[in-house]
């Protein structure tokens, strides 16, 4: 039980990577709060997880909702030990087709949302004497050419940068801040992107998936569990002296 009794809040936890993290952390003994914009899915996931699970519906692009989310989770558990800023959005878009609406939509959630969730969680952690913050970035933030679009890649570059600066600012409060950079991971978000590519190119989805896997040195895409295992490690006492890092979990797709 590497996370026995830890109070954890995960955004975007109703599906994909966030849901994988919620299950993995609960298996390690954590009390997990599932936060997501999708109310019906939050209720469903809380019921599935059972035990000490708690649910909260919130849009992480809205500062008032972030405040309400963190306050309610902290009040429910009595403290906040681990904050996972995982919610993110994107869609496939060619460089020259990116418009202001797409830029704003992506940056509102992926960059602004991560920053203000991180800052709000840090306020609780400073007053309780420490904590762990984990952000879901992406290898897109390191310039991975297979990214869904350049606005998304820039938002993930922002997450990698704010991870370093937050780690510097918060280290003296006994708070570690790290990011995970997933590669191609089998979730709804990734499936939608590959489905669109399959329709556009008139090729079966299985072809697109096989092509994606061929480019990966280990030869397989991530499952959400691959990312969840890294999150458990970063949240555990074993990672107490690791901070400011962004760690790729991608089967070797990007080696920087
Ligand atoms: N799947 C991949 O290949 C991949 C690769 C690299 C990074 N990532 C990152 O991993 C994270 C999770 O992605 P995923 O693949 O699990 O996606 P997903 O679409 O399966 O899940 C994302 C969840 O976030 C929620 N969400 C969206 N907007 C929100 C908002 N404004 N407020 C609160 N919740 C919101 C959605 O309802 C959904 O439940 C994202 O940050 C994504 O950028 C994914």
- CATH 3.40.50.720 correct for 7-183+223-249: yes
Ligand 1 midpoint to CA 16 (Å) = 7
Averaged pLDDT, 231-235:
98
Q: How far apart are CA 238 and CA 159, in angstroms?
A: 23
Average pLDDT over residues 138-148: 96
Name the E strands within 129-173: 131-136
Percent of the chain with pLDDT over 70: 100
As given in the structure block, the two tokens for residue 94 are 């060619």
Which residue ranges have their beta carbon within 6 Å of ligand 1? 11-12, 14-18, 36-38, 58-61, 86-89, 109, 136, 138, 182, 184-185, 187-190
Q: DSSP of 56-103, one letter per residue?
A: EE--TT-HHHHHHHHHHHHHHHSS--EEEE---------GGG--HHHH
Distance, CA 106 to ligand 1 centroid (Å)? 11
Residues 72-90 as b or e (16 or more Cβ within 10 Å = b): bbbebbebbbbbbbbbbbb
- pLDDT tens sequence across 124-133: 999 999 999 9
How high is the pLDDT of residue 87? 98
Of 16, 18, 255, give the one whose Cα is nearest residue 143.
255
Q: Is the predicted pLDDT of residue 23 greater than 90, yes or no?
A: yes
pLDDT digits (tens, 9 = 90+) for 84-103: 999 999 999 999 999 999 99
What is the distance between the alpha carbons of residues 63 and 68, in angstroms, rounded to a whole number?
9
Query: How far, in Å, CA of 54 to CA of 47, rounded?
Result: 9
d(CA 127, CA 132): 13
What pLDDT score was predicted for residue 189? 86
A 10 A CB-CB count for 120 gives: 18
**Tokens 């950079």 sit on residue:** 181
Mutate to test the pocket of ligand 1, among 14, 17, 212 (most ligand atoms within 8 A of CB): 17
- Taking the model in full, what pTM does it have? 0.97
Q: What's 5's DSSP letter?
A: T
Q: What average pLDDT does the segment 186-195 reach?
A: 90
What's the 88 CA to ligand 1 centre distance in angstroms? Answer: 4
144 catalytically annotated: no
Is the pLDDT at 212 greater than 90? The verdict is no
- Place 148 in a pLDDT band, splitting at 50, 70 and 90: very high
**Residue 180 binned pLDDT confidence (cut-offs 50, 70, 90):** very high
């Amino acid at each position: 039980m590497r996370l026995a009794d830890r109070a954890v809040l995960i955004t975007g936890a109703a599906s994909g990577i966030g849901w994988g993290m919620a299950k993995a952390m609960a298996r390690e003994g954590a009390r997990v709060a599932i936060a997501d914009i999708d109310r019906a899915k939050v209720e469903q996931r809380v019921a599935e997880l059972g035990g000490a699970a708690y649910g909260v519906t919130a849009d992480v692009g809205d500062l008032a909702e972030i405040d309400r989310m963190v306050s309610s989770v902290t009040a429910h558990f009595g403290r906040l030990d681990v904050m996972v800023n995982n919610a993110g959005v994107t869609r496939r878009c060619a460089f020259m087709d990116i418009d202001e609406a797409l830029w704003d939509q992506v940056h509102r959630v992926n960059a602004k949302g991560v920053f203000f969730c991180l800052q709000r969680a840090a306020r609780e952690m400073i007053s309780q004497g420490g904590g762990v913050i984990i952000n879901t970035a992406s290898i897109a933030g390191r310039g991975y050419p297979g990214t869904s679009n350049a606005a998304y890649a820039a938002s993930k570059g922002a997450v990698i940068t704010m991870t370093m600066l937050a780690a510097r600012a918060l280290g003296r409060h006994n708070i570690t801040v790290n990011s995970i950079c997933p590669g191609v991971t089998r979730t709804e978000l990734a499936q939608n992107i590959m489905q669109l590519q399959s329709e556009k190119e008139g090729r079966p989805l299985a072809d697109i998936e096989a092509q994606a896997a061929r480019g990966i040195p280990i030869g397989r895409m991530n499952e959400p569990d691959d990312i969840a295992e890294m999150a458990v490690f970063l949240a555990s006492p074993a990672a107490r002296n690791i901070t400011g890092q962004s760690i790729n979990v991608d089967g070797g797709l990007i080696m920087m």
